[in-house]
Chain A
Amino acid sequence: METAAAKSVTAPASEDLKDPAYLKIRDLIYEISGIYQPEEKLYLLASRCSRRMAAVNAKSPSEYLSHLTTRANREAEMRLLVNEITIGETYMFRSPAQLEALRNVILPQLIKSKTAMGFKRLRLWSAGCSTGEEPYTLAMFLLEESARLLAGFTFDILATDINDNSLAAAKAGIYGEYALRSTSELLRKKYFKPHDEKRLQVSDQLKSLIRFDRVNLNDDSKMLFLKGLDLIFCCNVLIYFDLNSKRRVMQHFFANLLSGGYLFLGHAESLYQVDDRFRLVHFPGAIGYWKAPPNYGGQNTP
């Protein structure tokens, strides 16, 4: 979220921030999309709102609140606001704390249990992969760990989106400075080739690890066939679903995952009151949702 803050054009006066309407808007967004903004970061929310307020010509936060709650086009307006909030969110290595949790806690767990079963293969799914930053990040991460942590393991990554344009961009794998802002020089050299003056293209090696496909998470028939996954990443996608659809998607995710697998959502997203089968597990700086083995009673993950 910090990134977009730096880009924000209109900083509302600090007096405006005290308007209780912002807290109501914050709670409404959380209720509908699951994205949460702590009170201290309301200035970010206010700056996103200010753009939408200008667009709909709302004179005050409380007037804008009525656009989100009582006006006829409230659902469309909420979608536009959520778009403002999540805009520019995607770049490679955007969630280092998730990768640290994988490296330090989750992969060692999975490797142990899989080695015991003699099944040395990992399956990952980037559900709602947008323009491909997330699956390529995972591919680089796994390749970097393949000499050490994942020695002897094979892995494949499924990357899906509903949007054909996004998928086409993801398959092409051409990225500019914004997408690569957190990608080290070393990794750029190793996994990318020059495309034009300003952009790089992912190497064929990276592409070969990822299978791109068009999947609508609302399409039950397709969701039923995705099985045997160890890790699902679904960042800032559920925000566009209503509560019932979210619950259905969660049912599928739970069934898609192998026992002991994890689901990760976007940084500020939560499944509060959406699902109670997954166990909420805290890692330093990251939250994961765990499909515990049946009858597993322990507090800490094994």
Chain B
Amino acid sequence: MKTLDEVRPAIMSLDAIPAIPAIVKPLAAMLQLPIEKVDVDQVVDLVSYDSSVTAQCLRMANSPLFGRRNVETVRSAILTLGLQRVQAILMGCCLNRIVPAEKWAFDPAIFWRHSLGCALVSRKLATLIAYPEPEKAYLAGLLHDLGVLVNTLACTEDYRKCIAAAREERLPLEVMEQKRLGFTHCQSGKVLAEHWRFSDDIVGVIEFHHHVDHTASDPALVFLVHLSDLLCRLRDLGHGYYEAMGVDLARDQAWLSLLKHCPELANLDLARLTLDIDGAMDEIIALVDVVFRPASAAAH
């Protein structure tokens, strides 16, 4: 068993992995700018930097989940989807390439379905509670489990066993990580996110989405992603195994905290929300199969 400090150098050296597109760092920097300061041409350049990233972005932009059709150029994708959404999609496409196919402890499609599902639900919840930046909620949902990728890369064999044990005991992943690795994907994800200079708000989500009692720079964002993560895991968009849990969402700490700022939340029909997630499932699965499979399957 390694400690987080022992794993830290391995996390820092992730930059050296040739598969990491050179665009992650400039992209992370750009994601922190106020939207009016982002240069559209620079985003077009980043998306066009790598032809397979371009293709993945366009496929995603054309998905019915994003409500658009017939987007043929990078520029029109950016104009129709909005800069922030394209940046988030781009980041997802980049991250997909950091884990070589043989290292995955589980089907990468399962990871991306969870991440994409969480992104979509976070954005939906953000809109419902009038959170000012729904696209940021989307990005946070997409990136919240960055640490799972880190653990996969830094502790490949141990992590395989850890996930197998979580599956066997039907326990949440972070509980088994703490038990078997000595640290969780929240902690290891934070190390990489800070190293790549993600914004404080996104780092906060990565670090605290399972610990909502801690104070993050944008607590509402952490609460949103925490709830979306739970909802996805409860509707077959989790980590690919059955977690033995019964959750009273309306009494979840994150829910109660959001409720203080947004009393209308009390009227939200939670049963209906979960059925809506089921409704989006087919498209999420199809999209992940198209967008995220080629890069990971190519190495097989």
Residues of A within 8 A of B (CB): 30, 36-41, 100-101, 104-106, 268, 270-273, 279-285, 287-288, 290, 297-301
Interface SS majority for chain A: mixed
Query: Nearest Cβ in chain B — how far from A271, in angstroms?
Result: 7
Contact of A104 among B235, B242, B283 (CB under 8 A): B242
**B19 CB within 8 Å of chain A:** no
Question: A38 touching B280 by the CB < 8 A rule?
Answer: yes
Query: Nearest Cβ in chain B — how far from A131, in angstroms?
Result: 26
Q: How far is the CA of A138 from the CA of B55 in the complex (A)?
A: 50
Question: A38 touching B248 by the CB < 8 A rule?
Answer: no
Given A38-B276, A280-B270: A300 in contact with B246 (beta carbons within 8 A): yes
How many A-B Cβ pairs are below 8 Å?
A: 90
Question: A36 touching B271 by the CB < 8 A rule?
Answer: yes
**B250 CB within 8 Å of chain A:** yes
Given A36-B272, A104-B170: A284 in contact with B248 (beta carbons within 8 A): no
CB interface residues, B 223-252, toward A, < 8 Å: 230-231, 233-236, 238, 242-252
CB interface residues, B 245-300, toward A, < 8 Å: 245-253, 269-272, 274-276, 278-280, 282-283
Contact of A282 among B249, B272, B280, B283 (CB under 8 A): B249
Q: How far is the CA of A97 from the CA of B195 in the complex (A)?
A: 41
Q: How far is the CA of A298 from the CA of B52 in the complex (A)?
A: 48
CB nearest neighbor in B for A38? B279
Contact of B247 among A37, A40, A300 (CB under 8 A): A300
Question: A36 touching B280 by the CB < 8 A rule?
Answer: no
Contact of B245 among A36, A272, A300 (CB under 8 A): A300
- For B275, what are the chain A residues with a Cβ–Cβ distance below 8 Å? 36, 38, 268, 270
Question: A281 touching B276 by the CB < 8 A rule?
Answer: no
Query: Nearest Cβ in chain A — how far from B246, in angstroms?
Result: 4
Q: How far is the CA of A290 from the CA of B252 in the complex (A)?
A: 15
Other 16 A-B pairs with CB < 8 A, given A38-B279, A301-B248 = A30-B272, A38-B275, A38-B276, A40-B280, A40-B282, A104-B242, A270-B269, A280-B271, A282-B231, A282-B234, A282-B248, A284-B235, A285-B235, A299-B248, A299-B253, A300-B245
- For B283, what are the chain A residues with a Cβ–Cβ distance below 8 Å? 40
- For B250, what are the chain A residues with a Cβ–Cβ distance below 8 Å? 279-280
A-B residue pairs, 7 tightest by C-beta: A38-B279, A270-B271, A104-B244, A40-B279, A301-B246, A299-B251, A272-B269
CB nearest neighbor in A for B281? A40
CB nearest neighbor in B for A34? B271
Q: How far is the CA of A280 from the CA of B266 in the complex (A)?
A: 13
Given A41-B279, A268-B275: A284 in contact with B252 (beta carbons within 8 A): no
